Amino acid sequence: MIASRLHKWLALIIGFQLILWFSSGALMSFLSIDKVQGDHLVDRKTVAAIPKNIALADLNAVLRGAGSDAESATVRVVLGRPVFELATKSGIKLYDGSTGLAVPFVTAAQAKKIADTAWIGIGHPTSTTERIATESTEYRGVLPAWRVAFADADHTRVFVTDTGRIAAVRTGTWRLYDFFWGLHIMDWSNHENFNTWWLLAFALGGLTLGLAGTVLLLMRWPFRRKRASSGGAPARANT
């Protein structure tokens, strides 16, 4: 029987991946996305207000000083002081919000302080800072950036950009989630491409497996057996 053979071989070929799909999907559904993103350890949502006792410099003067390639401007508070963050054609530039003078990007010490200030977890573990210039499975955000590693139980890593923004928070829970996500989409190296031929082939195989199983179920349904058995032998004539 074609349906039976097809169902058997497909079950042998893609059965293990089906188990991975179901188990990884169940795990990812079980984990809270806020915990995966580390929101219970690092506060990235609170926006610091500009201190009332600080007068801002003339933004138009800052824009003129930046040249004609300025595209947009944002006023932010970095480590307690206002900063003009200008997006230009040549990249991001920072200017002191009170003086209007250009300021350098955040240093390793400043990045560590930014991460420490945003920490809301239990205790205040020590941290180390490392410069990151290339992307990895753990971080694919704005580069270069500072990686602040906390010595907490969840092995938290906070990524701070040169402009002082917290771009990402990585924890042990996130790494577990990301590992199973890579298994789920069948991208075992980068964990981000869900348009691979592997995934398409196994998805179509799983669909065919289900259809073949449905055909077998209908062919072997009890009412079909009952009908076949009742009509299989001729009735005996009375003499």
Instruction: Kindly report the backbone phi and psi dihedral angles of residue 91, in degrees, each rounded to the nearest multiple of 5, phi listed first.
Output: 130, -175
pLDDT at residue 111, as a whole number: 95
For 13-59, the three-class secondary structure string (H helix, E strand, C coil) is HHHHHHHHHHHHHHHHHHCCHHHHCCCCCECCCCCCCCCCCCCCCCH
User: Which range, of 58-67, 110-119, 153-162, averages the lowest pLDDT?
Assistant: 58-67
Percent of the chain residues topping a pLDDT of 70:
82
Instruction: Kindly report the backbone phi and psi dihedral angles of residue 208, in degrees, each rounded to the nearest multiple of 5, phi listed first.
Output: -65, -40
pLDDT at residue 207, as a whole number: 76
Q: What is the pTM of this model?
A: 0.76
Q: Which residue has the higher pLDDT, 233 or 128?
A: 128
Alpha-carbon span 185 to 20, nearest angstrom = 10
pLDDT at residue 68, as a whole number: 67
Alpha-carbon span 101 to 62, nearest angstrom = 8
Confidence of residue 229 (pLDDT cuts 50, 70, 90): low
Asked if residues 132 and 159 have their Cβ atoms less than 8 Å apart, the reply is: yes
Mean per-residue pLDDT, 52-69? 84
pLDDT at residue 86, as a whole number: 92
pLDDT digits (tens, 9 = 90+) for 168-213: 999 999 999 998 888 877 776 676 767 777 777 777 777 776 776 7
What is the token pair recorded at 51?
Answer: 């201190």
Say whether pLDDT at 106 is over 70: yes
195 burial via Cβ count (<10 Å: 0-12, 13-18, 19+): exposed
Confidence of residue 239 (pLDDT cuts 50, 70, 90): very low
pLDDT at residue 168, as a whole number: 95
Asked if residues 170 and 157 have their Cβ atoms less than 8 Å apart, the reply is: yes
pLDDT at residue 6, as a whole number: 64
State the distance between the two ends of the chain, measured CA to CA, in whole angstroms: 43
Torsion sign over Cα 14, 19, 20, 24: positive
